[in-house]
Amino acid sequence: MMELLEETELCFPQLPNTSCRIATSSHSVTLLTYTLLSFISVLTVTLNLLVIISISHFKQLHTPTNLLLLSLAVSDFFIGLLMLFQMMTISGCWLLGDLMCSLYYVMACISTSASIGNMVLISIDRYVAICYPLHYPSKVTQKRVQVCICLCWTCSALSNSLLQKDSLERPGRYTSCYGDCVFVVDYISGRVDLFLSLIGPVTIIVVLYMRVFLEAVTQARAMRSHTVTVSPKKSELKAARTLGVVIVVFLLCLCPYFSATLTGQDALFNTSFSAFSICLLYFNSCLNPMIYALFYPWFRKSIKLIVTLQILQPGSCEVNIT
């Protein structure tokens, strides 16, 4: 028995009878996984930090739509930081204790929910801008957008804290050994989370973007026939296409994460598939600023000004960035 314990790699060797075992995988696979996740995490944090600095610093970018992108970048920034902790769950050894395990999952769920809420707000913003261009300046103001963003983050924090109340009150109640970090989704909580975080938001996003797409097609035909009276600006249509790409990519990365909930069984998010789905969801936070760099000239220009430290010059916030 003692020989077996010595041969088995344990998370806490000083506790041979109660310690979890380290996940068995080849050294090369483990090194590749850690290197890849570390690279994605650093890239995610860096790119989203550039978005945050750009929109916060340059006054010309203080528009309602960009405020929503700023909020999305903040949630993606936190997800990038949390990705570093995800590496410990993949190895099979959580070394930070039960309380930090519960806080990690709560923060991850809050950031993810806020990201989803921001996607819904972005869809609403584009819907109003394209379908009701005359009413957009009066209906979508910076003040209202700021209130919506605050509500989005507040609701995400409250709902996820309530859903994970048991884990916060009794950290480690579902762990079977030291070094285990388990996130349990029971049937009722899973259904509530499924509706609030997937079915409801995705339905709203798809319906609104279908309306935006149909309106864009109608406006394009009207412009070709020269019968258009009021149409969205070309920049609004371009923004709708860009944010449409962001949302499609987001949905593709989101769906695997909720597949365990759709099975109708209690899900323990410490399996290899769950680790893959969580990493895919995290990777979406890295893709968003990449999409901005491809489609938004202002983001590329602001990156140049930030990297060259020109934003430190007096009056740099007034620079023409669009």
CA angle 196, 199, 205 (to 5 degrees): 100
Provide the CATH number for the domain around residue 69. Answer: 1.20.1070.10
| Residue 18 maps to a domain | no
Whether 113 and 159 have beta carbons less than 8 Å apart is answered as yes
**Residue 17 within a domain:** no
Q: Which two tokens stand for residue 193?
A: 């989370």
Asked, for residue 92, whether it belongs to a domain, the answer is yes
Dihedral pair phi/psi, residue 285, rounded to 5°: -65, -20
Structural domain boundaries, residue 312: 32-171+178-317
Residues belonging to the chain: 322
The reported pTM is 0.82
Q: Which sign, positive or negative, has the C-alpha torsion 167, 106, 283, 46?
A: negative
Residue 8 domain-assigned? no
Strand pairing class (184-185; 267-268): antiparallel
- Domain for residue 102, yes or no? yes
Dist. CA 179–CA 19, nearest whole Å: 6
H/E segment holding residue 267 = strand 267-268
d(CA 88, CA 233): 48
Per-residue confidence (pLDDT) for residue 8, from 0 to 100: 61
Kindly state whether residue 141 falls inside one of the protein's structural domains: yes
User: Is there a domain that residue 110 lies in?
Assistant: yes
Task: Look at residue 145 in the predicted model and tell me its pLDDT.
Answer: 95
Q: Smallest Cα–Cα separation from 167: which of 107, 99, 265, 79?
A: 99
Residue type present at position 237:
L
What are the pLDDT tens digits along the chain (322 aa)? 344 444 467 777 777 777 777 766 666 766 777 788 888 889 999 999 999 999 999 999 999 989 999 999 999 999 888 888 877 766 667 778 788 888 888 898 899 889 889 989 988 998 898 888 888 889 999 999 999 999 999 999 998 888 777 777 777 777 777 777 777 766 777 777 778 777 888 889 888 888 887 777 776 666 666 555 555 556 666 666 776 777 778 778 877 766 655 554 444 444 556 666 767 777 888 888 888 777 788 888 898 899 898 888 888 888 888 7
How many domains does one find in the chain? 1
Name the residue with tokens 């869809």.
Answer: 123
Those residues whose C-beta lies under 8 Å from the C-beta of residue 87, and which sit 6 or more positions away, are: 33, 34, 37, 38
Q: Which residues, including other chains, have CB under 8 Å from residue 219's CB and lie 6 or more apart?
A: 130, 228, 231, 232, 237
Look-up: residue for tokens 């480690």? 172
Cβ-based burial of 49 (10 A; exposed 0-12, middle 13-18, buried ≥19): middle
- Residue 9 domain flag: no
Note whether 280 and 256 are within 8 A (CB): yes
Q: For residue 184, give the 3-state DSSP assignment.
A: strand
